[in-house]
């Protein structure tokens, strides 16, 4: 049969079925003003345990394309996209270029941590313990602790003492005797992105396996928080960052750190 004779109703039904089968009707409905959120609208999305070293390698490669925040986030959620398709695949990954250099070079939050925190919230029903564990690890661990296959320069390990890009880069420049905008420092931040993405996956896997995620705050920071954070006598501040990375001197009101 080379011709088809169809009633108008049958034709409409056929086009409708073809569209619905590929999700078109759902999307069209989602565009209506009073619609419920579409598939991508509710988090967390399903997490499937990933291989930490493979994600670290991908993070190093993705850093070269879109810097630290993009590199970390894309290595985790992009791997899930390759495995599971939508809604992961349609996520606008390029958006996370913004976190580079602590957001457009401002030196605020390390972009790798910013990207990991975004991935935690997207993929976990309980992201805060993951953030606490990753950020305290980043402050205190001599990093990088993973060497991607494509790395050229020798590792110079430092414990940043802070989740901030400014402190992390400054400490590294001092230890490595290299300037900020050298190929060595640029590669270092890619290698660091690989280490952070790897640790983020280790934590996501542990939580997915039902294990408790511990976070060990620095002793000095806990002392400061006990007075200045929630429930403390002062309660006049907010934060969990290592205090001594900014409060170099506490003046006469405190004993020296």
Rounded least distance, CB 78 to a second copy, Å: 10
163 binds a second copy (CB under 8 A): yes
Closest CA to 248 of 167, 134, 132: 167
Alpha carbon distance 190, 66 (integer Å): 10
Which 167-196 positions form the footprint of a second copy (CB under 8 A)?
169-170, 173-174, 179-181
Contact 68, 111 (CB under 8 A): yes
Which 99-138 positions form the footprint of a second copy (CB under 8 A)?
99, 101-109, 113-114, 117-118, 120-122, 127-128, 131-132, 135
Which 189-228 positions form the footprint of a second copy (CB under 8 A)?
none
Which 52-81 positions form the footprint of a second copy (CB under 8 A)?
none
241 binds a second copy (CB under 8 A): yes
Number of residues this chain uses to bind a second copy (CB under 8 A): 89
Assign 3-class secondary structure to 76-89. HHHHHHHHHCCCHH
235 binds a second copy (CB under 8 A): yes
48 Cα distance to chain centroid: 16
Out of 48, 49, 65, 89, name the contact with a second copy by CB under 8 A: 89
Out of 150, 220, 239, 254, name the contact with a second copy by CB under 8 A: 239
Alpha carbon distance 6, 208 (integer Å): 52
Cβ contacts of 131 within 8 Å, gap of 6 or more: 116, 117, 120
């Amino acid at each position: 049969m080379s011709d088809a004779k169809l009633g108008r109703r049958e034709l409409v039904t056929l086009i409708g079925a073809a569209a619905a089968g590929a999700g078109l009707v759902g999307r069209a409905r989602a565009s209506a003003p009073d619609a419920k959120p579409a598939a991508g609208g509710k988090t967390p999305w399903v997490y499937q345990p990933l291989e930490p070293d493979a994600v670290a390698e991908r993070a190093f490669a993705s850093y070269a394309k879109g810097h630290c925040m993009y590199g970390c986030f894309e290595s985790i959620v992009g791997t899930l996209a390759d495995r599971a398709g939508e809604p992961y695949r349609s996520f606008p990954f390029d958006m996370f270029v913004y976190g580079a250099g602590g957001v457009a070079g401002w030196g605020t939050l390390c972009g790798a941590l910013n990207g990991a925190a975004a991935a935690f919230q997207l993929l976990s029903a309980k992201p805060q313990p993951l953030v606490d564990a990753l950020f305290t690890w980043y402050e205190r661990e001599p990093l990088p602790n993973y060497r991607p296959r494509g790395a050229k320069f020798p590792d110079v390990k430092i414990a940043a003492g802070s989740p901030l890009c400014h402190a992390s880069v400054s400490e590294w420049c001092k230890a490595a005797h290299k300037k900020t905008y050298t190929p060595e420092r640029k590669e270092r931040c890619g290698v660091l992105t690989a280490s952070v993405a790897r640790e983020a996956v280790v934590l996501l896997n542990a939580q997915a396996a039902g294990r408790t995620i511990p976070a060990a705050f620095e002793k000095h920071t806990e002392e400061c928080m006990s007075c200045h954070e929630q429930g403390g006598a002062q309660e006049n501040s907010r934060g969990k960052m290592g205090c001594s990375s900014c409060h170099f001197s506490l003046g006469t009101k405190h004993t020296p750190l």
